[in-house]
Structure 1
Amino acid sequence: MDDHASRFARANRLIDDEPPAVHEAPGAIGRLERLCSALSRALPATGVGVSMLTDDNYGGATIAASGPSSRRLEELQFSLGEGPGIDAFASRRPVLVADLLAHGSSRWPGYAPAAHDQAVRAVFAFPLQVGAARAGAMDVYRDRPGPLSGRALTQAFTFAEVAMDVLVEGQNGAEDGTTTMDLDDVLANRLEVYQAQGMVMVDLGVSIDEAMARIRGHSFASGRYISDVATDIISGRIRLDRDMP
């Protein structure tokens, strides 16, 4: 077995050996949650998150995370519209920030201090891609500054490849009806954000970009996930006006 195949197989064994959560999601989502936990232990890291992203930077959604704090950090990027995972996806290259405040504050003026407030000192983002196809990003969080070792970087790249493989297999299975995975729910959340964005645009008579900025501002100010804010806008429980963030 060559080195690449050996690393890939070892990553999958670590995921297989990771105990499932009490309320683990079915199919691909559950496997990605175990992937996040397994990588968090293997590096070690404070947390790991995986998100799907779109080219327009509007329809992103958190798929899996090693814990609640990592999920909040993933959602923080969508609330602010900036962050390492978004940049890794857009550039198709890893974004490696060994000292978040020193090297991330100018790049992400909103995200860096907010993530620092949640005890993140270093963050490493890896695009989820194969060939020309892109799906999202995997983010690794650490509570102390410093670079990842060469071995840790190799391991993270391998887990990102496994994550993309899980997503591809999951979406292929969903198309032919052979799986019970919950990827449809993730996609539904993305569509709700688009729908809410259109409603705010019409209600306020603003541009599509300004509508998203309003939704993000309310999400960040209220400390809620952007998908939850979108759901409330659609249902009428929240109606943004010109004076609201």
Structure 2
Amino acid sequence: MSSIRVRQILADVMAGEEDGLPERLCRACAVAIPVTGVGLALMTPAGHGGSITTTDGAAAVMEDLQQTLGEGPCMDASRDGRPVLQSDLAVTGMSRWPSFTACALEAGIAAVFAFPLQVGAIRLGLLNLYRHTTGSLDRHQLAEALAFAEAATTMLLRLQDKRPSGQPLHPRLAEAVGSRREIHQATGMITVQAAVGLAEALLLLQAHAYSSERPLIDVAKDVVARRLRFAPEDDHHE
């Protein structure tokens, strides 16, 4: 039954342009399972990666936050190679991921369910589900999440098979790695400029992107190029 469901998911999301595959899969997952947001992230064997796509802003913040802090359910799922299901972050998260949990709760995220995408021992990425309310996934919802994770694994492999000759990664996947590097660099610069921790620095970067209605990566590039600077006495100035 599981393989039938995976084939159905792939048939539905692949019935369109290749560039929109990750977005369609995440949107379909958010419809099939009652969660607030879904994120798809790339993760290399060396532990590097970045967000490929998310269904909403809250999920995007959570994806970037865990990558920047190096902690959280999704990082553990990738490292250990098994799902991490946190149905109530307020109860179980603070002792394991204090910085991430504090920021997640402040952002209104109450539960996180992270599913590693892998083939044998090879890590490809993560499918991450976020919810504003507490509560476990029931048996059917968990089966759906695992089916979507398997479908996402197949999708990433197919994208990689179609990469241009001589390129190590498909352009869509290379973009995820590159953007993560620039966001991480910008966050580090803000910690020095604004005299804050990594989590607060990322939130400042996210807040500026939101208020200026610009993509996070574009704001990060401005910080790295020193066109935008954050200061302790005010959140930002240009």
Shorter chain as normaliser: what TM range?
0.7 to 0.9
2:22 and 2:53 in contact (8 A); partners too? yes
Task: Tell me which residue corresponds to 1:96.
Answer: 85
CA distance in 2 between partners of 1:193 and 1:230 (Å): 5
State the distance in 1 between where 2:171 and 2:45 align.
24
Residues 57-89 of structure 1 show CA distances to partners (whole Å, capped at 9, x for unaligned) of: 4x4311011122222221121232211111100
Alignment RMSD: 3.5
Q: Secondary structure at the match of 2:162?
A: helix
For 1:189 and 1:15, the matched residues in 2 are separated by 25
In the TM superposition, what are the counterparts of 1:89-168 in structure 2 within 5 Å? 89-168=78-157
Identity of aligned residues (%): 35
CA contact (8 A) 2:65 2:199 kept: no
Give ranges in structure 1 of 5+ residues lacking alignment.
21-25, 205-212
CA deviations over 1:143-167 (Å, ceiling 9, x no partner): 2211111111111111111111111
For residues 54 and 227 of structure 1, the distance between their equivalents in structure 2, rounded to whole angstroms, comes to: 20
The answer to whether the 8 A contact 1:27-1:181 is kept is no
Aligned: 1:218 with 2:201: yes
Correspondent of 1:7 among 5, 13, 32: 5
CA pair 140-127 structure 1, distance change in 2 beyond 3 A: same
In 1, Cα distance between the equivalents of 2:43 and 2:92? Answer: 24
* Structure 1 Cα separation of the partners of residues 199 and 228 of structure 2: 13
Superposition TM-score, scaled by structure 2 size: 0.76
Residue 123 of structure 1: CA displacement?
0.9
Q: Is the 8 A contact 1:80 1:220 kept in 2?
A: no
Preserved contact between residue 69 and residue 198 of structure 2 (Cα < 8 Å):
no
CA contact (8 A) 2:99 2:199 kept: no
Given that 2:40 and 2:127 are in contact with CA atoms closer than 8 Å, whether structure 1 keeps it comes out as yes
Match of 1:23 in 2: none
1:31 aligns with 2:21: yes
1:187 aligns with 2:185: no
Paired letter, 1:8 = V
TM-score (structure 1 length as normaliser): 0.74
Given residue 40 of structure 2, which amino acid in structure 1 is its aligned partner?
V
Q: 1:39: Cα distance to partner?
A: 0.8
- C-alpha contact (below 8 Å) 1:123/1:139 kept by paired residues: yes
Q: Would you tell me which structure has more strand in proportion to its own residues?
A: 2
Structure 2 gap ranges (5+): 210-215, 232-238
1:53 aligned to which of 32, 43, 56: 43
